[in-house]
A and B are shown apart, each in its own frame.
Chain A
Amino acid sequence: MGNPLLIFWYRIFGEEEENGPRSYAGAQPLPSIPSGQTSAGILLVLRRMRIPLVVIIVIFAVSVLGLSLIPGEDAQGDPRRMGIFESFYFMSYTATTIGFGEIPHTFTAAQRMWVTFAIFLSVIGWAYAIGSMLALLQDRAFRRALARRHFVRKVGHLGEPFLLLVGYGNAAKRLARALDDMGRRFAVVDYDENRVASVDLDSYRADTPALLADARDTAKLAMAGLGYPNCEGVIALTGDDETNLDVTMTAALLRPDVPVIARTFSREIAEKMRAFGAPEVVNPLDRFGDHLRILLRSPAEYQLMVWLTSSPGTPLPPRRAPLPRGRWVVCGYGRFGRELTDDLRAEGLEVTVVEGKREGRVGQFAGRIDADDLESADIQHAAAVVAATEDDMTNLWLVEEARRINGEALEVALQNRAANSPLFDAVGVDIALVSAEVVAHEVMARLANPVLMRFLPQVPRQGEEWASHMVERLVDRCGRGTPDLWRVRLTEEEAPALAPWLAEGELRLGDLLRSPRGRETPLGVVTLTLLRSGNRVIGPDDDYLLRRDDQLLIAGGPSARRALDVTLTDEPTASYVIDGRIVPSGWVGQLLSRKGPSRSREEV
């Protein structure tokens, strides 16, 4: 493995599956969700309504009692008191403003005095109670309790495997969109109210539960998904490295069986993350350099990798022109600039670094780059200029300035904030490196299909010609949208119809991938990888002979997938597709004509 790039890919992607997530001794059962959290809403209502209710009861009791004690008279003028029941009836319709009048007899002056008093008292009581109720409905704590209850119910009813998305920034939004297109379910946790609210506005096809909570709180994380057996993965993409580390650790300790993908901008944090289980760590700053290196070596490889890790149906991205291999100027020597310079130097390029002045003049930030610095970097004779500061405005200015000095040079700019992309588009940067985009692609590569990670690290090995041929084949067979990827195992269970041919060992890959409608036309699929007892064959051709227990990573459309499934499971179809023999599908017919798969290849 002399190729430094391969070492890169190996370090980044690793040999997955062989060393699955480490399981801790005595792995805990699913973390339980504190039930008090979920019923908090009702308890809060009851507790807050205590005093208003007591006030109403007392007011009613006093009014009723008074009314039943005050002497009145009937129609004949004989003294008569109202009973407790009559008083209660009168107070009920008076206090609720229904007002039937003076029943059963016209009131005396004394009774009217008391009723006037009781009316005002009850109005105050009701105003107080209704006011408290409305205040409670406006209360943030109460609304949050209700929202939490709603969320827990939604997650509990998901009923299918779902991913837990921690953090809902730009990268997570892109990823969520792609996951939604793939028909995967996910739950979102973020501490920012606006972001959580935007989950509903982003209108995903599936109903997506979103929880407003700090992900560092273990109980909240358990409530959001870790506590459910359906949770199939945790993706930590918050803007804060510490939070991502916290989430990674929590998930690894509480649910060692669940895969974790975490983003970080720092190497130290990445090391800490790797200490717990086997999380996939994505460092966008680090990955930019790797992407640029692949692009430097082979634009077609880069095109293929970006395309396969996009959401399904994404059109084929245009292939970039080969990057110049002359002298590169990197402006800004921050975290990103340093990583990038190392990568470019490792690639054998000459790199000039423009570092801002350490001691700026009065009113100037230290480390800021100005026109003088660019002069000294000799941009006139540079092949490419990289604007790699952590300030977007400076990067834009650097691009403009570099273009003024040398219009020929390739312009590469780091785009720190996704909101600024219209500006970068307007300036017309050749390559804009967007953190959110890189992260989304990297995570997709790990989520789309476990076998894809067997294939992708192999791509940089194959060379430009192979990659462009592969892209052509994919476009030719599967169309211009990103194809679906799936795995086929040629085992007894998953491909029972193929057993006779696999036993003979004479099944050609090209024969298997024919359409059951007419075997002259090949299925719209491409085999990306073939795995055979640990060895892998990248892009096997049609004459490749299949054996039992081979695994295939196949790219193609949904209809081709259904067709292939039929071939794998239905013996008459398999017989037709592979040999062109039409076998009776009825039981009697099969019994009469059964002599094992025919070796004679009749053309249809």
Chain B
Amino acid sequence: MNLEKVIFGFFVLLAATLNFGFFLGDIGDPSVHNVYELFAAVVVNLIATVLKFGDRTQIGAVQLATSLVASLQLIAAAVVWTYATNVASDALSHEMTASVVSLSGGAVFANIVSVVLLVVETVSFQRR
């Protein structure tokens, strides 16, 4: 068992599940999208990105790329949410919620690619 693989797999999967949980539900209804779930998804995604820093392998580099995409999408979602709650006149309107959730939906796709890569790497790993 490789501890590094366990930790990385944990964070990649956790990022995907948290993000998916936030994404789930009516896209424009703020009551079904918990902001703390978004917060957790951002943090876990950032950690998953940093964990792939300096990886020389090909698959590691692609994983770094997908994690970066997910992080950037989620940070964009967080910024939109901050703007909607703190700056805009009507707090968290239907449109604003929709754009936050759709941004996180993009991140979900990147997370899924990360998970697929993780599975591919695990399956192609020869030593048992």
Binding site for B on A (CB under 8 A): 36, 43-50, 53-54, 57-58, 60-61, 64-65, 83-85
Contact = CB atoms under 8 A, between A and B. Distances in A.
Nearest to A65: B39
A54 B47 contact: yes
B50 interface: yes
Contact of A50 (B35, B50, B86): B50
A128 to B, nearest CB: 14
Given A54-B47, A57-B47, A58-B47, A84 B39 contact: yes
Contacts of A50: 50-51, 53-54
Contacts of B51: 50, 54
Contacts of A65: 36, 39
Contact of B56 (A43, A48, A60, A85): A43
B122 interface: no
Contacts of A45: 54
Enumerate the 10 nearest inter-chain pairs by beta-carbon distance, A residue then B residue, closest first: A47-B54, A46-B54, A46-B53, A61-B43, A85-B82, A53-B50, A43-B54, A50-B53, A57-B46, A54-B50
Contacts of A46: 53-54
Contacts of A83: 85-86
Contacts of A36: 56
Nearest to A62: B43
5 contacts: A46-B54, A47-B54, A47-B55, A54-B51, A57-B47
B46 A47 contact: no
Contacts of B43: 57-58, 60-61
A58 to B, nearest CB: 7
A142 to B, nearest CB: 12
A85 B85 contact: yes
A54 B40 CA distance: 14
Interface string B42-60: 0100110011011110000
Nearest to A69: B36
Contacts of B55: 47
Nearest to A51: B50
A47 B54 CA distance: 5
B50 A57 contact: yes
Nearest to A86: B86
A84 to B, nearest CB: 6
Contacts of B56: 36, 43
Contacts of A53: 50, 53
A43 B36 CA distance: 34
Nearest to B43: A61
B53 A47 contact: yes
B50 A85 contact: no
A95 to B, nearest CB: 15
A67 to B, nearest CB: 12
Interface string B39-81: 1100100110011011110000000000000000000000000
A83 B82 CA distance: 9
Given A65-B36, A84-B39, A85-B85, 16 more contacts: A43-B54, A44-B54, A46-B53, A46-B54, A47-B53, A47-B54, A48-B54, A49-B53, A50-B51, A50-B54, A53-B53, A54-B51, A57-B50, A60-B43, A64-B39, A65-B39
A64 B86 CA distance: 17
A83 B85 CA distance: 9
Contacts of A58: 43, 47
B2 to A, nearest CB: 16
Nearest to B50: A53
Contacts of A61: 39-40, 43
Nearest to B53: A46
A194 B21 CA distance: 60
Nearest to B83: A85
A43 B54 CA distance: 4
A60 B35 CA distance: 17
Contacts of A84: 35-36, 39, 82
Nearest to A83: B85
A48 B53 CA distance: 9
A324 to B, nearest CB: 69
Which of B36, B53, B86 gathers the greatest number of chain A CB atoms within 10 Å?
Answer: B53
Contacts of B40: 61
Contacts of B36: 65, 84
A54 B51 CA distance: 8
A85 B86 contact: yes
Contacts of A48: 54
A558 to B, nearest CB: 52
A49 B85 CA distance: 34
Nearest to A45: B54
A84 B82 CA distance: 8
B112 to A, nearest CB: 23
Nearest to A56: B50
Interface string B83-113: 0011000000000000000000000000000
Contacts of B35: 84
A382 B93 CA distance: 112
A316 B4 CA distance: 70
Interface string B10-52: 0000000000000000000000000110011001001100110
